Structures are given as structure tokens and as C-alpha cells.
Structure 1
Amino acid sequence: MLVTVTETTELVRARAHEVEKIRFKEALAEQALRESEQRFRQALEIETVGIIFFNSENRITEANDAFLEMSGFSREDERAGVLQCDELTPPEWQITTSRAAEELKAIGRAVPHEKELFRKDGSRWWALIAMKQLNGNEAVAYVVDITDRKRVERSLRESEARFRALAEASPAFIWQVDPQGNAVYLNQRYQYMFGRSLEELMPTGWRRLLHPDDAPAYLAAFERALHDRARLRHRVRVRTAEGEWRWLKSYALPWFTARDEYAGHVGISIDITEAVAAETALLEADRRKDEFLATLAHELRNPLAPIVSALTLIARPDGAAEIPRLLPVISRQVSYMVRLVDDLLEISRITSGKVELRQKPTDLAIALHNAVEASMDQIREKELELSVSITDTPLIVYGDMVRLEQIFANLLNNAVRYTGKGGQIWLTARQEDYKAVVSVKDNGIGILPGMLPRLFDMFAQERRSGMGAQEGLGIGLNLVDRLVQMHGGSVEASSEGKDKGSKFTVRLPLSEITADGKSGQSPKVTFAPHELRVLVVDDNQDAAEVLCMLLQSMGVDVKAVDSGSVALATIPHYLPDVVLMDIGMPGMDGNEVARRIRAQPQFNNIKLIALTGWGQEKDRQLSHESGFDHHLTKPVNFKVLTELIASI
């Protein structure tokens, strides 16, 4: 069969065209493949998702940069074929891995799951993994690094655990309520305090614990805080399992979810029962202090009034005739003022712990007789009948004679003050077991029941008509109580009520050592005033002049100067036996003068007596260190002063 040239040419062209078409299609396919490969490579370059391909032997055949960075491996490690899924998985996660592999084999994919993986350096990281089967021999896994999220979740769990531990261990009441005010959390403290289960207290059972008087105000504040989503700060009484009412102070703040949605309040309630009691006591003490200051002003004005009136009468041209009648009035009122000041100084010394007892075996009967003698002027003035009954059995106590006299003189004076004219007072002393029991009883105005529990408190006073004009400062019985306690004893008061009198009973432990038979009183010394020269040193010229007049009336040779420097210049030629000297003088004070006198041995025989308004224990100590032999406080008891000078 012959083929023409023309036919052959056409056939070649046709075949060439067919080949060209095939090559074009192949070129398009290659371009599509390159574009697909490029898209795939771009997909692999995502920075937040790790992508790995692994075969049926769990060897990673390819991994993107994100996965290599997450796991700490390099591209060289990938090419070397060292990336093995099983080796990247910690042993405790093998079960999770096997379960995911079985799921992948069964349905061609594995739902996302979380587990830890090893990095190249051996450290661990958390991954969220999803897998899909590509063909019979290859699968792909998508990996997200969730280490930071897991760290935050762990921190939250630890924080919550710490909060729970702190809340459960706290002595305070920790609570949480929802927006409606229902309790959703109460710590264990609630069960211990109220004796009820948490189920009984939640969601609203806690409200039944509130004191009926406090509940309305507390719940109103609570509801207002919920409504306004504001801070709560309120206190309330609650009833404990033992039936006791305790004060709680609640503090709470609103709390919000991560989406800034109000979720209720979180609060803490603290037991402030003791603080409330202390606050109440402080307010009461403050009230009594104000009352005391008002009483002090009243008590000082009362004696000043007759003194001023008496001095006005004496200052008249014919006033001298009234002096015999007015002097007892002035003397009584001055004595009363001295007692007020002495009580104030004494209670100050005792409360500051600056009083030291000079204790020794002491016959209590002597202290009682001295106390009676000290109170007799007041007893006679009100025409009271005093009955004294002291057992013949020696009552020997280990005590300070001066302080014991002070205790019973105060009790007797108290009885005198609150017993009407012509009334009766009974003083008895007896032995009871190993104690001396002394009672002071009167038939005066009595003590109201409400006053008995606080009778011995500082500044405690009962205001009633029928009392004397001079009622005192309300510190005498507190002074008695403190001094008795310092002697290891006790004092109690009793009364059947208004106008039925009162009774004070003191119990003191008897001493195991017998007394030496001495009375404890100052020895009587014959006073020979003509043998003494006394120098008075005081910048208050009126005080110095009056003191000189008193001493001169007794025949004492006395001289007065008004400063320390003049005193030092006077001593060498006057040669006094006794120097009565004020301490608080301007310029050179009394302590400095005493030190300078003691620095000169030729004056060692001079007795130095401080006569001053400074009477605290530290003042006495300083005067003693400066060289004074004795320390007396103004206004001085002239009998005490003359006996002291006589003893010199």
C-alpha cells in the first residue's frame, strides 16, 4: 500500500500536535503539583501548630518548624530519623497513646487528647494532639503546645487548694454567697462554733443564728451590699452551740467571674467578743473618769467655801474674836482636802507599781486600834456609836503596819461617811481557819444591788440623796482592795439593800512567824526644842513664815531663807541641827543643795528633811540619793513633823 508524501506529512503533524497536547497537560499537572506542594509547604510553616507525619512504625517522617521548635529537635535530627513517637512519650502516657492509636486505626482519626511529651533535653511539655490517617502507611498529627495553659490551670488549682486549706484552718469564719445571698461555701469553723452541719447552715440556715435584736440591721446591710455590689462591714451577735451569744464582725467584697459577671460576695467574720467587752469597759472607764473629774471639782470646792468664808470673817476689824470658833472649821476642811490629795497620790503610786510593802510579823490588833484612833474625830463629830470586838487570840499577819492601818481607817471612814448622825458602826476581828477576818459593819444607807459588783472599781460612786455633803472621790475602796490583795488577802462587801447598812469583810492570811511583841509604833522621844536650831528653806515665803511661827511657838530656834544659794551661805555660821527644805525651788533645787551639803564632811551631823509637794516614789528615791534623811509631803502633818524632829 503506497502512501503519498502529503498523507505522510499530515500524519506527522497530527502526531506532533497530539504529543504537544500531552506535554502541555503534563506541564499543567506539574505546575498544579508544584503549586499544591507550595501550598502544603506554606501550611507546614504555620508557627502555632506543629505538624508531623509518621508511618505505621510510629517513626516521624516529616515535621514542620513549629513542632521542631516545640520539642527542641533540629532539622538534622529529623533527617537522621531519630524522631520516634514512642520515645517522645513518657511511660505514664503510653496507655493514652495506645488508645488514640487504636482509635486512629479503627475510624481513620483520633479525637484531640492531651498528654505530656519529652523535649530533646529531657524536659517535658504539654501537647494537645489530633490525628488523621492519610493512607495505609502514613498518618498526620496536629500538635498545639498547651504548656502555658496547663501551668495556669495548675496555679489555679494550687491557689484554690491553698485557699481551701487556709479557709479550713482559719479561726475566723470564711464564707461565700451567690447573688441572691444564699451561702455556697462555709468553712469548718461554722460546724465547730455552732454545732450544726454545713447542710443545715446552707443556703439560708445561717440566718437563724443571728441575735433577734441585731438581725434586722445586719440583714439590711447584707442585702444592701448585695444589691449595690458594694463592700459589707457590719457586726452582729450569734448564738453558739453552748447557747452563748458571741459578737462577730463581718467584712465582705463582691467578686466577679472572668467575664466580669457578678457572682456574689466573699467574706470573713471575726469573733470580736473580747474586743467589744474591752471597748465597753473602756467607755465605762472613760465615763467614770469624767464623773471623777466632776466629783473632784465638787469635792475641792466644798471645803474651800467655808475656808474662804472663815478667812473673810477673820479679816474683818472684829475678826479676832471669831478665831476660836472658826479655826476648828478651817482645820477640818483642810484635813479633808489633805486626805483627798493623799488618796490621789496613793492610788497613783499603787497602780503604777511603785509601792513596796515593808512587811514583817505584825499584830493586827495594834493596826486596828491605830485605825480607830485615826477615825475617832470623824466618829465623834457625827455622834456615832462604835463597838469594837477583837479576839484575845493574837492575830499575827505578815504585813506592813502603815498600810494595814490605812486599809481599816479607810473602811471606818467609809462607814462614817454613809452612816447618818447617831448611827452605829461595829468593828470585829476574829480567827477563821488560818486567816484573820476583820469586818466593818454599819447601819447606814446601804448599797444598792446594782452597785455591789463594781463597788471596788476605780472612781465607782453611788449618787443618792441622804449621803453626806462630802462623798469622796470613789477611790478609797479601790485603794483598800489593792492594798489587801498586796497582802495576799481579799475584801468583799455585802448589803441587804437601801437603808439596811453595809458590811465589809477583810480576810488576811495569818503569819507562820509570831510577832516579837513590839507595837510597831514610833518610840516616844522626849522633845527638847530649846536644844535645836532649824533652818527652813522655801521659796514660798508664806509657807516658810507660817512654819517658822509654829516652830517658834514651841521654843525652837528657827531661821528661814528663800533659796538654795542663801541656805548654803547661811549654814556655816548658823550651824543648824535640822534643815527643812523644799525641793522644787527655782535656780538651785533642794536636791542639788542637799548634794552640796553632803559634799562637806563637817556638816554630816545635820539632818536634812525634804518638805515638798513632790510625793511619788521616784521623788522619794531621788531625795534619798541626794542626801536627805527624811521625805515629807506638803501639807505636812505638824504632829508627824514635831515627832520626827524630836526623834532627831
Structure 2
Amino acid sequence: MDRISNPQESLAFLGGTSAMARAMREADWAASPLGPPQEWPQSLRSVVNLVLGSAFPMFVSWGPQLVTLYNDGYAVLCGEKHPAGLGQPILEIWSELRTDLEPLIARALAGESFFVENLLLRMRRHGFDEDTWFTFSYSPLVGEDGQIAGLYCTCIETTQSVRTQQQLRAREEWLQSLFHQAPGFAAVLRGPDHRFEMANQAYSVLTGNRPLVGMTVAQAMPEAMEQGFGRWLDKVYATGEAFVGRSVPVTVNQGEGKAPYETIIDFLYQPLRDAQGQVEGIFIQGHEVTEQHRAQQVLQAFSDSIPAIAWVAAPDGGLERFNAQWQDYTGQSAQLALGHGWVSAVHPDDLPKARAAWEAARGGNQAWQAEYRLRRQDGVYRWFLARVVPQLDESGRLLRWFGTTTDIDDARHATQTLRQADQQKDEFLATLAHELRNPLAPIRTAVHLLGRPNADEQTRSRAAEVIGRQVGYMARLLDDLIDVARITQRKLVLKKERVQVGSIVDAVLEAARPLADAKQHLLSAVLQDSKAEVLADPIRMAQVLINLLNNAVKYTDPGGSIQLAVRRESNELCLTVMDNGIGLTPLALEHVFAMFAQEQTAIERSEGGLGIGLALAKGLVQLHGGSLSAHSAGVGQGSSFVVRLPLDDGQEPPATACHGHNAAQVPARKVLLADDNRDSAETLADLLRSYGHDVHTAHDGAKAAELAMQLQPDVLILDIGMPGMTGYEVARHVRAQSWG
């Protein structure tokens, strides 16, 4: 490994202003198993730089002793174990978790990348043992010799979330228990045929312990239908209006051999509504008159939903009581919240809408719901859904409101994100259709010209040029899409070689100059060191710079100035494309590298394209181990895009593809060409025949395999996806032959 003479340069990968970056720079690594940072392998430097730059808690453990380095986020999770844990073996830092961590570490060191969700760990980080939960991913790290040299982990503590879920489950079980153990009878019916979804013990006793769940009222209790209860149920389901029965006589059959008995009941049929407010069922609650003192309305209110926050309010909206979840969330004491003090927790912008919904419901004594934001005790507002039902007396007078308030903030954001993604998809498909359709008109016209018998040679030549130019444009669009897909799927392979930056700059300036000259731009380059070398794929790096230069040309008014500057910075090479064009807003800078992102001012000046160029450029630069950033002082202030690449460290470049030959210089060959697209196969065959090759075609995999056995060709050109047999299967079949 080459030593870096300048100590500051050797610590560049520990750059940044974070506390852990400073701690690592100031640490005495000479006594550590890792040794001085300037001797650390490049793979370790890269991952440490990644860890320090991450906003998520991350750590890396390296070497036989798994010496551990971590960022600010992980330092917080360490509690009192930080800062002593920096540079210590991971199993010594978390000695109390050895039994839990050893199997995970072993999996990572065996080459496995994996994800674990909500793992319970009993750790000691604040001077006492505590149950914690974490979601994390482990990945192996490969050293310079190609062997696994360590691991890195990204983790998020989910303790609060898990405990909240446990509390919700406990509350759900509590509500179910209340329902089933309630002294009054209760049941839930679903659908227009009133099918029992649940019924409590008291209801079973009332009906003679007959089977109920899963059966309709007509099936389970035909005598109730005969006595008019079915008509009341139908009306409630159709109108959505609750029905209250007072002192209603009912005759209940007790089964064979038993005499029916008559009892007097009070009951309520309450419609159940879905999220859209449509009636989907009926809640039944009641009791025998002798047990009127039992407060079944409270049970009803809690059984209508599974609330995160439950409360009871007076007719005027004054809060009378609430459960512990309200105080846990808002931090409001009972003294502050009771009465109308709870209103102070509602976002001021949402209060008028919520009040209007309440006033409308109050006028008709109807159930209502509203969405509004509530302030958490730390000052953060989150969206909640309030669902409220009224309690009425015998005369229909409103007694009080029962409400549940449920946190829907995450669901709202997820819906908004999904809506934006769907809109972005639609915009992209429209743009793609437009960009692919535009070249078809001149291509179609050129094809008609070529088919005209009276077209002269000049016309035919011009038509062929049009077809070639437009097909080339379409191919570039599709190539960009394929490149983005390959980068996203990590399938794009770079053909790196040691290359002087000056040669790349010359090539991209030559490529960009015609477009710049057409708009009368001054295009220039400033090279600090034209012989500086980088280990890069020259074609891909040229692709990046041409994209940046072409963007600068397009989004700069005629007569503008565009410069490509190259300079060294520490152990990096910086290539900056600067212009004095339209510039970027702060919001645009945040999303400039997002897929399909185009600012409105840029769209107005757009000359075609899918909005993936900068995303593709950033992906290509990152594959080189570099970075791409955008800078602008604002609209009309120009822009600069900075590519940073690591300077060549003297490593041997990976093997590159062999050089091809001019088609005209290749001896005639026997060629078998297989493609289920007949036009593609026959046109390529005609082209190869024009160079003197003996070409045979097949249009499915089975025919290709058959012809291969007959012809024993010198060259096979196979489409991958074909009916019968794939190109891979045909190739394997040919390879298995003695001549293959």
C-alpha cells in the first residue's frame, strides 16, 4: 500500500464536523490493532467515511478483533459506553449481549447480509439493565485481498415503538375483555343480513346459549324476527340512525323440551360506519330492566373502536374525563385539559374545521368524525382522526359525547407519498411516450421517401441520415433508462483503466462544442494538472461530463459562459462544470438528483429528455467511488456541478474488454442468428451478409438448437427471451457438443 506523506491528506476520509469525526481524527490509533489511519486499507477508509456521513446510527467492526468505529447516531445509542467504546472490539463494548451478538456476527463474517426487525436486547448502557428493541441490518466488509475483513451495521432503536404496540395490544385485549365480561348483553352484527360477528356471555345467556357467531339473526333467532326486531335492524342499517328500545318485551326460545321465557329489555341498535362513513354493521347493547344501573353506554363507546385516546365530553364540548393516553401524548394535566383547556392542544389552523363538524353533529345529535393535528408534549404536531358518538336520554336529549382519537399521521404521509409517486410515474410515462413518439414522425416520413420509386439518391441519403439520427436519439434515451436500471440493480459493470484527466476533458469539450457554438456560448476549460490520473471507465466518465456540459448549455441564455475546471484537492480530483445560466432554487437543489426531477423554469427551457440525466450521472460517479454535488446562489445566479473522484492510488486496473476489429477486416464466417423478432433478425442478417458472411436465421429457441446441430456455425448470435428455449438454454446445448 502506498503511504500518503501528508498526514492531513491521510485523514481526509475522516473529514466532517461531526463529534465522532473529530474524535477519530484526534484518537491515538498507533496502539490500536488498526494502526495509524494512513495505513488503513482503502475499503476500511471508504466505509468509515460512509458511516460518518450517515444520519442513521451505524458502526463498522474491522479485523480479527472486530475493532469498532461508529458515528454520532450510534454514540447516542451507546449511552455511558461512549466514548470508551471507540476503537474497542464490538463484543467487549457489548459484553452483556455476547450471546445475542455472536450468532449475528458469525453470519455476517460468513458473507451473509441480513435484516433483523425489533430484536429484544437486554443491555446495560445507563448503569442499569434495560429491555430494548432494535431493527438493524448487518453486511460483510471485504478487504483488499478479497476476503471478508469485517462487518458494518445500520441500526434504529425501536424500543418506544415496540412498547407502544404492546400497550395498544394490551388495550385491545382489555377492551375485548370488557366486551365479553360486561354484565349487560352486547353483540356486533355485520352486513345487511345482520350476521353475528361477536356476542358476549350475557347475550348468550339471554338467547339460551345457542350458537350465534357466523349466523344471521334470522338463522340464530327466528323468534326475534317474528317479533319485529328484524324490521328495526333493517331500518338502522338503511338510514344510519340509531334505534333505542325501552322496556321492550321479548320471548326467547330455550330449545327443545324447554318452555320459552319472556323478559323485558332496554337496548340500543347503533350503526357501525366504515372509514368513508358508510354503515357496515350494527352494534347491539342492552340489559334487562332489573339491571338498569349498569352503565352499558360507556362499554358501547369503548367498543365502537379501539382507541389510542378515549374521552367523554359534555354537550358543549367541555372535556369531562379522558384516559391516560391523552396525558401521555399531550403532557396536559387533568386540571389544564378538563373543560375547554384541551382546545389548546389542537393546531390553530384545524380548530375551525373541527368545531364546524362538531356544531353540525350537535344540531342533529349525530355521530361525527374529523381530522386535525394535535400538539405532542415536545411541540410536534401529528394528525389524528376523532370519531365521536352521542349519548341520548329517553327523550332524545343529548347527554354527552363519547370519542376516540387515533393517530393517523403516518398513514396520511404514506398516502401523500404514494400519491406523489403515482403522479411522478404518470408524468414520466407521459414524457417517455412524448420523447419516443417525437422521432417516429420523421422516421415514418423518411421511410415513405425511401419507398418512393422516383426518389433520387440525394433524397434517399438524406432520409437515411434522418432515420439514423432519430434512431440514435431513441437509442440514447433507452440506453439512459437501461443504465439507470442497471445502476439501481447494481448490475452495471465499469471498464476501469488508468486514464489521464486531460484526455477525458479534450473528448468531452469536442463533443459539447457544437451545441455550445449553436447558442454562441463561450466554452472553456481550466486544468490544474492535465496529466493527473484516475482509475475510471473513460467512456462512463465522459458520459457524466457531457451530460453536465449539455445541461449547462441548454439552461444558459445565448452568449453565456460555461467552464470545466479541473483541480486537485487532497487525494481527490475535482471536476467542476460552471455556468452563468438560470440557476437553481433552494428547493430544486434538494431534488436535483432525484429520478425524473425537473424544475419548472428548466422544463420551460427543456429541449427534450426524461429528467434522468443527473440521476444517472450521480449513479455513475458513485460507482467510481466519487461524489456529485450541485450548487447555486439562486435563480439567475448560475449553477455549478462538482464531480469528485479519488486520485489513482497505483492499483492495477481491472481487466478491460478486448478490442474489437473493423467489420470489413473480419474473415467470412458461418453465422447462426436467432431472434423471435423477425424484422430484427432479418435486417441484421442482411447487414452481416453485406460483409460476406454466410448467415442463417431462426425465430425460436428450438429451431436455433436444431440448426446449430446441422450447421455447426462459427458464430451464434442469440436473443435471450425466445419461445421454446431461451438463448441461455440454446447456448448451453451448443456448449455441450464436442464441436461447441
Counterpart for residue 185 of structure 1: 321
For 1:382-435, what per-residue CA distance to the aligned partner results, in whole angstroms no more than 9, with x for missing partners?
Answer: 676543445438877777766555544443443344346665433333333444
Q: Residue type of the partner of 1:452?
A: L
Give the 5 Å matches for 1:312-331.
312-316=448-452, 317-331=454-468
Residue 265 (structure 1) aligned with residue 429 (structure 2)? no
Q: 1:481 offset after TM fit, Å?
A: 3.7
CA gap 1:301/1:492 in 2 versus in 1, 3 angstroms = same
Alpha-carbon distance between aligned partners in 2 of 1:273 and 1:226, rounded to the nearest angstrom: 27
Counterpart for residue 70 of structure 2: none
Alpha-carbon distance between aligned partners in 2 of 1:192 and 1:228, rounded to the nearest angstrom: 33
Residue 246 (structure 1) aligned with residue 363 (structure 2)? no
Q: Residue type of the partner of 1:429?
A: V
CA gap 1:531/1:420 in 2 versus in 1, 3 angstroms = farther
CA gap 1:470/1:420 in 2 versus in 1, 3 angstroms = same
Alpha-carbon distance between aligned partners in 2 of 1:402 and 1:255, rounded to the nearest angstrom: 75
Q: 1:203 offset after TM fit, Å?
A: 0.8
Q: Is the 8 A contact 1:411 1:504 kept in 2?
A: yes
Specify which structure has the bigger relative contact order, considering alpha-carbon pairs within 8 angstroms and separated by 6 or more residues.
1
Could you say what secondary structure the match of 2:352 adopts? helix
User: Among 573, 579, 596, which residue is 2:733 paired with?
Assistant: 596
Could you say what secondary structure the match of 1:491 adopts? strand
Q: Is the 8 A contact 2:497 2:653 kept in 1?
A: no
Q: 1:219 offset after TM fit, Å?
A: 1.0
Q: Is the 8 A contact 1:183 1:204 kept in 2?
A: yes
CA gap 1:592/1:224 in 2 versus in 1, 3 angstroms = same
Q: 1:294 offset after TM fit, Å?
A: 1.6
Could you say what secondary structure the match of 1:348 adopts? helix
CA RMSD of the aligned region, Å?
4.4
Residue 275 (structure 1) aligned with residue 411 (structure 2)? yes
User: Which 5+ residue runs of structure 1 have no aligned equivalent?
Assistant: 1-151, 604-648
CA gap 1:539/1:485 in 2 versus in 1, 3 angstroms = closer
Q: Is the 8 A contact 1:226 1:264 kept in 2?
A: no
Could you say what secondary structure the match of 2:427 adopts? helix
CA gap 1:327/1:361 in 2 versus in 1, 3 angstroms = closer
Could you say what secondary structure the match of 1:458 adopts? coil
Could you say what secondary structure the match of 1:246 adopts? strand
CA gap 1:302/1:470 in 2 versus in 1, 3 angstroms = farther
Q: Is the 8 A contact 1:181 1:223 kept in 2?
A: no
User: Among 526, 529, 552, which residue is 1:392 paired with?
Assistant: 529
Q: Is the 8 A contact 2:495 2:656 kept in 1?
A: no
Alpha-carbon distance between aligned partners in 2 of 1:219 and 1:261, rounded to the nearest angstrom: 20
Alpha-carbon distance between aligned partners in 2 of 1:262 and 1:326, rounded to the nearest angstrom: 83
CA gap 1:589/1:519 in 2 versus in 1, 3 angstroms = closer
Residue 236 (structure 1) aligned with residue 354 (structure 2)? no
User: Which 5+ residue runs of structure 2 have no aligned equivalent?
Assistant: 1-290
Alpha-carbon distance between aligned partners in 1 of 2:639 and 2:695, rounded to the nearest angstrom: 52
Alpha-carbon distance between aligned partners in 2 of 1:322 and 1:444, rounded to the nearest angstrom: 39
Q: Is the 8 A contact 2:386 2:404 kept in 1?
A: yes
Give the 5 Å matches for 1:23-172.
172=308
Could you say what secondary structure the match of 2:366 adopts? coil
Counterpart for residue 694 of structure 2: 558
Alpha-carbon distance between aligned partners in 2 of 1:533 and 1:566, rounded to the nearest angstrom: 17
Residue 311 (structure 1) aligned with residue 447 (structure 2)? yes
Residue 218 (structure 1) aligned with residue 354 (structure 2)? yes
CA gap 1:429/1:532 in 2 versus in 1, 3 angstroms = farther
Q: Is the 8 A contact 2:314 2:401 kept in 1?
A: yes
User: Among 295, 308, 333, which residue is 2:470 paired with?
Assistant: 333
Higher helix share: 1
CA gap 1:319/1:199 in 2 versus in 1, 3 angstroms = farther
User: Among 592, 600, 607, which residue is 1:455 paired with?
Assistant: 592
For 1:617-640, what per-residue CA distance to the aligned partner results, in whole angstroms no more than 9, with x for missing partners?
Answer: xxxxxxxxxxxxxxxxxxxxxxxx
Residue 207 (structure 1) aligned with residue 343 (structure 2)? yes
Counterpart for residue 579 of structure 1: 716
For 1:84-136, what per-residue CA distance to the aligned partner results, in whole angstroms no more than 9, with x for missing partners?
Answer: xxxxxxxxxxxxxxxxxxxxxxxxxxxxxxxxxxxxxxxxxxxxxxxxxxxxx
Could you say what secondary structure the match of 1:451 adopts? helix
Could you say what secondary structure the match of 2:667 adopts? helix
Residue 535 (structure 1) aligned with residue 660 (structure 2)? no
- In the superposition, the TM-score normalised over structure 2's length comes to 0.51
Alpha-carbon distance between aligned partners in 2 of 1:421 and 1:311, rounded to the nearest angstrom: 35
Counterpart for residue 685 of structure 2: 548
Q: Is the 8 A contact 2:554 2:606 kept in 1?
A: no
Q: 1:218 offset after TM fit, Å?
A: 0.8
Counterpart for residue 579 of structure 2: 442
Q: Is the 8 A contact 1:361 1:514 kept in 2?
A: no
CA gap 1:358/1:334 in 2 versus in 1, 3 angstroms = closer
Paired residues, what number?
442
Residue 343 (structure 1) aligned with residue 480 (structure 2)? yes
CA gap 1:548/1:280 in 2 versus in 1, 3 angstroms = same
CA gap 1:268/1:372 in 2 versus in 1, 3 angstroms = farther
Q: Residue type of the partner of 1:250?
A: A
Counterpart for residue 564 of structure 2: 427
Alpha-carbon distance between aligned partners in 1 of 2:457 and 2:497, rounded to the nearest angstrom: 51
Give the 5 Å matches for 1:398-547.
404=541, 406-419=543-556, 423-464=560-601, 470-485=607-622, 489-508=626-645, 513-516=649-652, 522-523=658-659, 528-530=665-667, 532-547=669-684
Could you say what secondary structure the match of 1:514 adopts? coil
Q: Residue type of the partner of 1:296?
A: L
Q: Is the 8 A contact 1:292 1:459 kept in 2?
A: yes
Q: Is the 8 A contact 1:401 1:520 kept in 2?
A: no
Q: Percent identity?
A: 39
CA gap 1:525/1:332 in 2 versus in 1, 3 angstroms = closer
Alpha-carbon distance between aligned partners in 2 of 1:574 and 1:388, rounded to the nearest angstrom: 56
For 1:135-175, what per-residue CA distance to the aligned partner results, in whole angstroms no more than 9, with x for missing partners?
Answer: xxxxxxxxxxxxxxxxx9xx99xx99xx9xxx9xx9x4433
Q: Residue type of the partner of 2:455?
A: D
Counterpart for residue 14 of structure 1: none
